């Protein structure tokens, strides 16, 4: 498969969509990012790497971080994790409060904000120095020891995190947040501020594409079955309330973030990460979705 040529063709084909959508602006620091960046990187499980555009430029991974925090929490808690968070698609916005209230503080899944805040609480109950321990895991899985948080993005988000604060309070009210609200919220927001490039992300997702290889990074290890199940949750819950559409158009497990990144895997074939900050109304990158749709169409490789 000539992936490089396919990526180049895709880049040309998506140009008509280059001005569609707009970057997230509810986090002030994200609104300042150049909206016209585009990068993509694909790693095959047999060691090939193909990239294009701003693939080595770091950006705010935002909710893509939720895949790493779920992996870390599942490694620490195993099945017990599912007593505190579900694994059903939500069909509502990522920061919605309604379902959480109706369902008595048990978030639908770990990829909506409520679920990821519970996961952050779980991690804090295990890690002594959570900020460092989490970063160690992300650095280990991406093979890049220079990856870090962007504390300016985190404090800009914290200053306006009214909805996430409401979610954390509701969780606390229902007894599903054990730590201190303020500390858990800060840790969740810090996780979202991690900056990585498409190449870092593609590399970090490779273990999810290659579930037959041992998953052992830092202090986190997962069984092959756990890795496949994380993929299942990515497939059903990874794209806000557009997971069905992503499944239909692209057909890969993946996760998006409001920084404009999407990381996805084609099991036993490749991992891929794409970045373009302009988002559609559901919060997913317009060019990113288009690029991945064309990728699976051209290669005729998806999970279906």
In whole angstroms, what is the distance from residue 97 CA to residue 113 CA?
Answer: 10
- Least separation in angstroms between residue 68's CB and ligand GLU is 13
Q: Kindly state the tokens that stand for 265.
A: 């895997």
- 258 forms part of the interface with ligand GLU (CB under 6 A): yes
Site string for ligand GLU, 151-170 (x = CB under 6 A): ------x------x------
Question: Active site residue: 240, 272, 276, 302, which one?
Answer: 240
Q: Could you confirm whether 217 is annotated as catalytic?
A: no
Phi, psi of 215, deg, nearest 5: -105, 100
* SS3 letters across the chain: CCHHHHHHHHHHHCHHHCCCCECCCCCHHHHCCCCCCCEEEEEECCCCEEEEECCCCCEECHHHHHHHHHHHHHHHHHHHHHHCCCCCCCCCCCCCCHHHHHCCCCCCCCCCHHHHHHHHHHHHHHCCCHHHHHHHHHHHHHCCCCCEECHHHHHHHHHCCHHHHHHHHHHHHCCCCCCCHHHHHHHHHHHHCEEECHHHHHHHHHHHHCCCCCEEECCEEECHHHHHHHHHHHHHHCCHHHHHHHHHHCCCCEEECCCCEEEEEECCCEEEEEECCCECCCCCEHHHHHHHHHHHHHHCCCCC
Q: Could you confirm whether 255 is annotated as catalytic?
A: no
Beta-bridged to residue 220, according to DSSP, are 217
In whole angstroms, what is the distance from residue 145 CA to residue 125 CA?
Answer: 25
- Least separation in angstroms between residue 38's CB and ligand GLU is 18
Q: Could you confirm whether 258 is annotated as catalytic?
A: yes
- 94 forms part of the interface with ligand GLU (CB under 6 A): yes
- Least separation in angstroms between residue 167's CB and ligand GLU is 9
- Least separation in angstroms between residue 212's CB and ligand GLU is 30
Site for ligand GLU in 217-236 (CB under 6 A): none
Site string for ligand GLU, 110-149 (x = CB under 6 A): ---x------------------------------------
- Least separation in angstroms between residue 188's CB and ligand GLU is 7
Site for ligand GLU in 185-204 (CB under 6 A): 192
Q: Could you confirm whether 240 is annotated as catalytic?
A: yes
Question: Active site residue: 127, 188, 217, 270, which one?
Answer: 188
- Least separation in angstroms between residue 128's CB and ligand GLU is 24
Count of residues that interact with ligand GLU, criterion CB under 6 A: 11
Question: Active site residue: 119, 227, 258, 265, which one?
Answer: 258
- 62 forms part of the interface with ligand GLU (CB under 6 A): yes
With CB under 6 A as the contact rule, the residue among 41, 43, 53, 63 that binds ligand GLU is 63
Q: Could you confirm whether 188 is annotated as catalytic?
A: yes
CB atoms within 10 A of CB 242: 18
Beta carbon nearer to ligand GLU, 43 or 157: 157
With CB under 6 A as the contact rule, the residue among 44, 90, 95, 235 that binds ligand GLU is 95
Which sequence positions are flagged as catalytic? 63, 66, 188, 240, 258
Residues in touch with ligand GLU (CB under 6 A):
62-63, 94-95, 113, 157, 164, 192, 257-258, 283
């Amino acid at each position: 498969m000539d992936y490089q040529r396919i990526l180049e063709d895709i880049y040309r084909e998506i140009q008509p969509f280059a001005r569609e959508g707009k970057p997230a602006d509810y986090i002030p620091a994200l609104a300042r990012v150049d909206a016209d960046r585009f990068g993509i990187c694909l790693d095959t499980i047999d060691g090939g790497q193909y990239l294009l555009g701003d693939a080595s430029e770091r950006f705010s991974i935002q909710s893509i971080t939720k895949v790493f925090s779920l992996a870390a929490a599942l490694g620490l808690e195993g099945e017990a994790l599912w007593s505190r968070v579900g694994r059903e698609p939500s069909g509502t916005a990522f920061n919605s409060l309604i379902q959480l209230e109706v369902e008595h503080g048990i978030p639908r899944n770990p990829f909506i904000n409520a679920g990821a805040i519970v996961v952050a609480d779980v991690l804090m109950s295990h890690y002594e120095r959570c900020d460092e321990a989490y970063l160690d895991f992300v650095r280990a899985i991406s093979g890049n020891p220079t990856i870090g948080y962007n504390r300016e993005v985190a404090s800009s988000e914290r200053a306006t995190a009214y909805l996430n604060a409401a979610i954390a309070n509701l969780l606390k009210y229902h007894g599903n947040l054990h730590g201190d609200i303020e500390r858990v919220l800060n840790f969740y927001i810090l996780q979202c501020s991690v900056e990585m490039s498409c190449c870092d992300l593609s590399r970090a997702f490779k273990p999810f594409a290659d579930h037959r290889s041992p998953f052992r990074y830092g202090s986190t290890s997962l069984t092959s079955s756990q890795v496949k199940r994380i993929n299942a949750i990515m497939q059903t819950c990874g794209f806000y309330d557009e997971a069905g559409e992503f499944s239909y158009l692209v057909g890969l497990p993946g996760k998006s973030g409001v920084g404009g990144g999407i990381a996805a895997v084609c099991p036993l074939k490749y991992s891929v990460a794409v970045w373009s900050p302009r988002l559609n109304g559901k919060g997913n990158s317009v060019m990113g979705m288009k690029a991945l749709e064309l990728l699976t169409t051209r290669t005729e490789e998806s999970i279906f």
